[in-house]
């Protein structure tokens, strides 16, 4: 425990998904494959809380989110969520919708790079979790479906109407969010929704290689890059450039920046410490 956590211990028992740490890489595995790994009230809450804790896990530098079995995540469980929502009063409905949005906001504000490994379907909330990740490594079986209008709701759920136009453009986002059609991996790649498209058999290797590359990189620089990408979406150019300048000036004081200079002159790879 560090002084930045005070009395609250890190959670060791996550009951609604599997959580494991190997080296510098943490992995969340959605593990209800018989139902395409649906999200529930409890798994949303656990994801939100884990993302708040994760930066305090010693040595963890990257998060991978994956699903067990033939699909990544089929979205919210129809009976365990929708069946409950139709009986809820407005106050509890608002608590639920804010909680789902809190998961996506926590993903974007978490300083660690987040990789989503996608095989099979990423639908509904599963597609937005993938969208909120920093990298989407997608197998050829991968499919995306922003299904919210098909259940009579707004396509702008969980921040999708904010994030998706910034990834694929307004026209494609309008098409995907209003029609709710399923698109295959190659179409998603063409739209710009895929970071890396690989054969399904190569998914684990591609995810591991990317996670290891990020974990071995300059973690302060990566964290600040993610922060700037998120925060500058709504800034004026002058405000963004000011934030860039202040951030760079701060990073120029770090050990990692000095290490690059030393490594360059010594003709060796940098040894990043995140300090």
- The whole-model pTM stands at 0.95
Would you list the domain boundaries of the chain?
A: 18-215, 219-266
User: What's residue 7's pLDDT?
Assistant: 87
66 CB-near residues (< 8 Å, 6+ apart): 27, 28, 29, 30, 72, 116, 117, 207
Per-residue model confidence as pLDDT tens for the chain (275 residues): 577 888 888 998 899 999 999 999 999 999 999 999 999 999 999 999 999 999 999 899 999 999 999 999 998 877 778 788 888 899 999 999 999 999 999 999 999 999 999 999 999 999 999 999 999 999 999 999 999 999 899 999 999 999 999 999 999 999 999 999 999 999 999 999 999 999 999 999 999 999 999 999 999 999 999 999 999 999 999 999 999 999 999 999 999 999 999 999 999 999 999 99
User: What's residue 4's pLDDT?
Assistant: 82
CA 273 to chain centre: 24
Q: The dihedral of CA 3, 215, 51, 235: what is its sign?
A: positive
List the beta strands (DSSP E) in 131-199. 135-139, 143-145, 182-184, 196-198
Concatenate the DSSP letters of all residues of 50-102 into one string. HHHHGGGSTT--EEEEEESTT-SB--B-IIIIIHHHTT--HHHHHHHHHHHHH
Instruction: From 259, 255, 270, select the one nearest 216 (Cα to Cα).
Output: 270
User: What's residue 23's pLDDT?
Assistant: 96
Instruction: From 212, 209, 217, select the one nearest 273 (Cα to Cα).
Output: 217
Bridge partners (DSSP) of residue 170 are: none
Architecture of the structural domain at 18-215: Alpha-Beta Complex (3.90)
User: What's residue 8's pLDDT?
Assistant: 85
d(C-alpha 28, C-alpha 67), whole Å: 8
User: 3-class SS at 109?
Assistant: helix
């Amino acid at each position: 425990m560090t002084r930045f956590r005070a009395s609250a211990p890190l959670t060791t028992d996550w009951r609604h998904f599997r959580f494991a740490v190997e080296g510098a890489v943490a992995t969340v595995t959605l593990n209800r494959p018989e139902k395409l790994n649906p999200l529930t009230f409890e798994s949303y809450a656990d994801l939100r809380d884990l993302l708040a804790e994760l930066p305090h896990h010693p040595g963890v530098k990257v998060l991978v989110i994956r699903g067990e079995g033939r699909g990544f995540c089929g979205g919210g469980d129809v009976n365990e969520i929708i069946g409950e929502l139709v009986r809820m009063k407005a106050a509890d409905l608002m608590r639920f919708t804010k909680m789902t949005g809190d998961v996506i906001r926590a993903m974007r504000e978490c300083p660690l790079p987040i990789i989503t490994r996608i095989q099979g379907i990423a639908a509904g909330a599963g597609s937005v979790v993938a969208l909120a990740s920093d990298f989407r490594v997608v197998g050829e079986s991968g499919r995306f479906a922003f299904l919210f209008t098909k259940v009579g709701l707004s396509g702008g759920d969980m921040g999708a109407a904010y994030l998706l136009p910034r990834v694929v453009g307004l026209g494609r986002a309008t098409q995907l969010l209003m029609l709710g059609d399923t698109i295959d991996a190659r179409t998603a790649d063409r739209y710009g929704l895929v970071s890396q498209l690989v054969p399904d058999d190569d998914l684990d290797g591609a995810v591991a290689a990317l996670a290891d590359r990020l974990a071995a990189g300059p973690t302060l620089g990566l964290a600040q890059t993610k922060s700037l990408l998120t925060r500058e979406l709504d800034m004026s150019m002058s405000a963004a450039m000011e934030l860039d300048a202040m951030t760079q000036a701060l990073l120029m004081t770090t050990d990692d920046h000095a290490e690059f200079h030393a490594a360059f002159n010594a003709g060796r790879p940098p040894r990043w410490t995140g300090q």
